[in-house]
Amino acid sequence: MQSIKLADGRHIPQVGFGTAAIGAMHQDDGYVKDTVLKAIEAGYRHLDTASFYGNERSVGQAVQESGIARKEFFITTKVWDTQQGYQSTLTALEQSLERLGTDYADLYLVHWPYPDKTRPTWQAMEKLHSEGLAKSLGLSNFRKTDIQQLLEFAEIKPVYNQLELHPYHTQPHLTEYCQSKGMVVSCWSPLGSGSWSGVAKEDKPIVADTIVTLAEKYQVSAGQIILKWDCQRQRIVIPKSESDDNIKANLQLDSFTLTDTELDQIDALNKNHRYGGDPDNAWQDNLNNPVPSR
């Protein structure tokens, strides 16, 4: 599997397995564990979860039951808005690691920007990094202004920013800025929104004529075209799937290469259309949605 080198020298598999809302948001049971196990058996070693997803326990159980050594995995989790702040961030990772059944996270992210809490939250994350509990530190959904704020005081620079990024929302200026600051850009909802969102299939980029035409040309799925576009643009992708076929297909991207012209054609599909939360105000709603208590 292809990997990308982070600015801190560590390597991250380029295709990860997204675990948000497997079954449903906050579902944490045998179905979730079995779905993650299927992904591991298909070859995924990069698993992306979060305290807010409410399924860290099932993700951790899948890793343990896989029979594969922990060091072979790259596990990402995140601190939620209601957990931000210095002491609460320390506690949040402690709780996440307990649920995951591991001694460390490979990558710990601030799930959403909450500017009033960014400084104490990041300083706590730096402490967790110094203690070896979080091997790499990064961000999720951070705007340029949020990153600029953080870089004013950060002693350890973030190596990663996970964004809503798909052919209808390419965020070229933010992506370029992140890369200029040494951050790898990662794409959540890379295919244009998961089933959890209620977005109709006909409104997703997987049915765009450009994508469908390329899928027919290369005899692959529309999803594989989009994931390959991201990979060739040197981004991390975090697709989530619950079907055996798609779990496997999302890893099978080596049989074709898109031309520069085709990459540009996909870039041109951008509509600045966001399906998920808007970082300008998401934290306000997030504060009303705490992490599941179990």
Query: Which positions are catalytic?
Result: 53
The answer to whether the beta carbons of residues 121 and 154 sit under 8 Å apart is: no
Gyration radius of the chain over CA positions: 18
11 is in an annotated binding site: no
Q: What 8-state DSSP symbol labels residue 194?
A: -
What are 75's strand-pairing partners? 47
d(C-alpha 214, C-alpha 231), whole Å: 16
Nearest CA-CA partner of 269 in 172, 200, 161: 172
The answer to whether the beta carbons of residues 195 and 172 sit under 8 Å apart is: no
Burial class (CB in 10 A: 0-12, 13-18, 19+), 26: middle
The answer to whether the beta carbons of residues 233 and 264 sit under 8 Å apart is: no
What are 162's strand-pairing partners? 140, 186
Length of the chain: 294
d(C-alpha 137, C-alpha 135), whole Å: 7
> Residues at the annotated binding site?
111
> Residues at the annotated binding site for substrate?
111
